[in-house]
Amino acid sequence: MHLRSVTVKNYRVHRELKVTFHRSLTLISGPNEAGKSTLAEAIHRGLFLRSKVTGDAWNAMQSSLADGYPEIEVDFQKDSEVYRVYKKFSGTNG
């Protein structure tokens, strides 16, 4: 599997961020508290967490910069097939 890109909106410190990954290597750098680990967490949650999450997990995703529900879109490729996963974390509405 190859991650192609991720778009994160209204997720913790990210109002809107799109990262396109190079096929062989992508380096993510920045100062402390810039949102590097938050980006990795968002990718994980976008791929593996149910969109109808509530409680502490949902509260931890809320943006301190923007109103609106957290949204994550992950594009990836496996063999020759390209897939897109989009999730809007809107509490019990998911």
pLDDT at 65 over 80: yes
Residue 76's pLDDT is 96
Average pLDDT over residues 14-43: 93
Q: What is the secondary structure of 16-71 as a DSSP string?
A: EEEEE--SS------STTSSHHHHHHHHHHHHHS-TT--HHHHHHHB-SS--S--E
Q: How confident is the model at residue 92 (pLDDT cuts 50, 70, 90)?
A: confident
Indicate the range of 23-32, 58-67, 70-79 predicted with least confidence.
58-67
